[in-house]
Amino acid sequence: METINRRKFVKQTLTATAALAVPASAFAELITPALQFSQVALPYAANALEPNIDALTMEIHYGKHHTAYIKNVNDAIAAEAINFATEKDFFANTSKLSAKARNNGGGAWNHNFFWQVMKPNGGAPTGKIADAINGTFGSVDKFKEQFTQAAMTRFGSGWAWLVKDGNTLKVGSTPNQDNPMMDVSDLKGTPLLALDVWEHAYYLKYQNKRNEYVANWWNVVNWDEVAKRLN
């Protein structure tokens, strides 16, 4: 009898506590980091960019490399109690971050961006993005030359970028997983287009021929996504 009463008491107390408690979501915000990176769904099948980017490279790149960057940056955010509210703030304060947070945060964001600015049968830029490129670089071909130069001269691992900086466009590159939103980056601006020139992005198909990878990659640039980011 005494046992039953005690159980009843415990049950009633728990019910009353639950009724008074703040919503679980509000409580979770107090005990979990503000920012979490998540991996975008690949907007096409892994073999959709063949023959320019092969399916096995896509599967490993998206499923292993990118997944690891996402996990590792979120681990760093939790372990180091990094408390920025947005990705923009995170990158604007990169100089204060650990190497693990910087490298994996860049890797998480850059690849999410990269998947979205590609698609099968990319075509050519049109409309306002073509106007902006022509206005800054003289022609789309001249822009491609400069961008290719940036991709080819990035020694070791890194990224080539087209960015919007104020009212102008710029081409350049960053080392490792840095990006133009980072306060530590020499190249600064809003990313419009990016190309991963890490060997893991092309080595299975192209081996040492980064030039062929870059040349074929133009076939899969999603210019509609680039144009959206011009706004």
Residues that bind Mn ion (CB under 5 A): 196, 198, 201
Residue nearest to Mn ion as judged by C-beta position: 196
Closest contact distance (angstroms) between CB of 144 and Mn ion is 21
Closer of 58 and 181 to Mn ion (Cβ)? 58
Q: How many residues does the chain have?
A: 231
Closer of 196 and 225 to Mn ion (Cβ)? 196
All residues at 6 or more sequence positions from 81 whose CB lies less than 8 Å from its CB, including other chains: 33
Alpha helices in 161-209 (DSSP H): 203-206
Closest contact distance (angstroms) between CB of 201 and Mn ion is 5
Closest contact distance (angstroms) between CB of 69 and Mn ion is 8
Measured between alpha carbons, how far is residue 229 from residues 58, 62, 104, 213 in Å? 24, 22, 23, 24
All residues at 6 or more sequence positions from 200 whose CB lies less than 8 Å from its CB, including other chains: 57, 60, 61, 65
Measured between alpha carbons, how far is residue 30 from residues 23, 33, 81, 164 in Å? 12, 8, 12, 36
Closest CA to 200 of 67, 37, 43: 67
Closer of 103 and 169 to Mn ion (Cβ)? 103
Closest contact distance (angstroms) between CB of 172 and Mn ion is 18
Closer of 161 and 198 to Mn ion (Cβ)? 198
Closest contact distance (angstroms) between CB of 78 and Mn ion is 23
Closer of 62 and 137 to Mn ion (Cβ)? 62
